[in-house]
Amino acid sequence: MHHTIEIAVPTGATETLLIELEALKGVLALSVVRGASVKPAGDVVTVHVLNREVDAVLAVAERAQQFGPMSVSTGELQSLIDPQATRAIDDDVDESPWEEFERGLRHHGRLNQNYLVLMVLGAAIAVAGLLSSPVPQALALAAAGIIAPAFEPVAKLTLGLVRGSWYAIRRALVAVAGGYVTLALVGALAYLLLHRLGVGGPESLAASEGVKTVIDPTAADWFISAGGATAGLVIITAYRRAVLAGALIALALVPAAVLIGVGVAAGQVDMALDALRRVGLDMFMVIVLGGTVVVLKQRFIHRNRHPLP
């Protein structure tokens, strides 16, 4: 997606900023409104830019900080029409700038009431699915993996580790702890409720293919999880969020976390420990494989530019 970037900059920095931005080939439109910014005081510079040059524009904006307080906002453009740059527009890349995918993960992986509600709903659906026959089970586990935001806080932790930001790491760990404890707790309560209603029991758990896949994965199951872990960060760091569901389904984060609680509630400690191990290994794959994706993109696509604070 192409971008529009609006920079509120001190008046003393405007001319230098305009000269540097005008020199960038990917900047297709550049305008300034003098004195338009009230807070912070100064001028407003608007840039319509190809995605491949967003990092360069933000680097220019960062250098303008030496002149005083400034503000930068970015947004996606649904279309950008310039008859003189048709080929460049068609060949534009689909990478997301650090600022956008990092803040997106901060939003979706933040511990708040909506985050916890979705965890509760995803956990309840997952338990019901694990106790169902194969076809509804597959549908329920896929739905649970999409509904419960179990991937986002782990991806946020991955970005924090790559950046070496203790602030981001701390907030991610809080979200991971709160979210996964919720999954396990709701898993236990949902199992007890369904067992009381006569829907499932230890025999149903033992016969469930979904349970076996989570606690006793084959090499193929690990291969699927590894693919999902890698794909998840590729999708998040590009403009491909519409296909993120595939990566979420490939990982076993939600059913495994739920089975920790189910195992405890059913008195099957071995099942709970196996499920805990699966959660840890799937998280490890997200951090290692997904982190590799982020490091490579940061080095070869973003040219090691640090995001704006």
Residue pLDDT, tens place only, 2-33: 999 999 999 999 999 999 999 999 999 999 99
Q: Which of 266, 271, 125 is nearest to 212 (CA)?
A: 271
Does the pLDDT at position 167 exceed 80? Answer: yes
Residue pair 276/214 in contact by the 8 Å Cβ criterion:
no
Q: What percent of the chain has pLDDT over 90?
A: 87
Three-state DSSP class for residue 238: strand
CATH 3.30.70.120 occupies which residues in the chain? 2-90
pLDDT value of position 63: 94
Average pLDDT, whole number, for the chain? 95
The Cα 120–Cα 183 span in angstroms is 6
Residue pLDDT, tens place only, 101-139: 888 888 888 999 999 999 999 999 999 999 999 999 999
On the CB side of 217, CA atoms within 13 Å amount to: 21
Listed range (211-215, 238-242, 253-257, 267-271) with the worst mean pLDDT: 238-242
pLDDT value of position 184: 98
Does the pLDDT at position 178 exceed 90? Answer: yes
The Cα 118–Cα 269 span in angstroms is 26
CATH 1.20.1080 occupies which residues in the chain? 98-300
pLDDT value of position 172: 96
- CATH class (in words) of the domain with range 2-90: alpha beta
Is pTM, for the whole model, over 0.85? yes
What does R_g of the chain's alpha carbons equal in angstroms?
23
The domain 98-300 having CATH identifier 1.10.520: the answer here is no
